[in-house]
A and B are shown apart, each in its own frame.
Chain A
Amino acid sequence: MAGSLQHLGYDEVQDARIGKLIQLEVDTVEESRIKEMCQKLLANPVIEDFSFEVVG
């Protein structure tokens, strides 16, 4: 992907990664519960890392 962008002339691209973006709409924000959701279902710790961000 990075190579393809470079090939198109975007020499500033050093690296690229494709990941999964999951957007959740929640009534209340409790970060510990969001972390739990990531650990229990949204990410598989054997093959994936995760991070989350509260926006809006």
Chain B
Amino acid sequence: MKVAVLQFPGSNCDQDALKALREDVGVDAEYVWHDESSLVGFDAVFVPGGFTYGDYLRCGAIASRSAILQETKRFAEEGRPVVGICNGFQILAESGLLPGALTRNINQKFICDDVYLRAETNRSIWTADVDKVIRIPIAHGEGRYIIDEDGLKSLEDNEQIAFRYVSSKGELNDGANVNGSVSNIAGVLNKQGNVLGMMPHPERATKELLGGTDGLSILRAFSLVKA
């Protein structure tokens, strides 16, 4: 079982992701550069955060048209696991693998803080193990999830909402919705449930030294993926 950690010019969570996967989840992981067009030998894909290509045009827009993303789309369509965190979520949304879009935070500010999340479905490997409120960090300026009413209904009907921002007690309210996302949405799944995108950073919450290990309840799923 080997995870491809994609690297683009401007990725900055790639090393965190690789270390978390290798040291804390205990799976094999290797970097794959953005102009590669093959994922042969890999069993899962991790699209890390950062500011790919300087986030020119829109966050994640240029990266979503890169060679490795074309291959990642093909990989995902086979039902194989793909996770995008922060800028990685923006890239997956821009690529069309996930519905919706990420826009400027409602307070117009970059937010670097811990948030509380609640898993909203157990039908994906990423959320099945998250049975309590978890605390993990966010660091983004453009994480406000936007989708139209029909899109939201479709997300709800198909159980595609992976995580919502909640209070430390697990209550769904406006105060917990740090960036103003539609319906407190912090992460979504594709229809099949094999692709996850989320703004918070589970790879930054995998050791007590980092302030908590709640991210492992999401990332441990990588160890269940069959080679």
Contacts and interface: CB of A to CB of B under 8 A. Distances in A.
Interface stretch (B57-65, B79-87, B192-200): B57-65
Interface string A15-56: 000000000000000000000000011101011000000000
Interface string B81-96: 0000000000001100
A17 B23 CA distance: 49
Given A46-B146, A46-B147, A47-B146, A41 B57 contact: yes
A40 B96 CA distance: 11
Nearest to A46: B101
B70 interface: no
Interface residues on A, range: under 10
Contact of B101 (A40, A41, A42, A47): A47
A42 B57 contact: yes
Listed residue (B57, B94, B100) with the most chain A CB atoms within 10 angstroms of its CB: B57
Contacts of A47: 101, 103, 146
Interface string B42-65: 000000000000000110010001
B94 A44 contact: yes
Contacts of B103: 47
Interface residues on B, range: 10 to 19
A37 B93 CA distance: 18
Nearest to B60: A44
Nearest to B103: A47
A44 B65 contact: no
Contacts of A46: 93, 99-101, 146-148
B147 A41 contact: no
A15 to B, nearest CB: 21
A40 B95 CA distance: 10
Interface of A: 40-42, 44, 46-47
Interface of B: 57-58, 61, 65, 93-94, 99-101, 103, 146-148
Given A41-B65, A44-B101, A46-B101, 5 more contacts: A41-B57, A42-B57, A46-B93, A46-B147, A47-B146
11 contacts: A41-B57, A41-B61, A41-B65, A44-B58, A44-B61, A46-B100, A46-B101, A46-B146, A46-B147, A46-B148, A47-B103
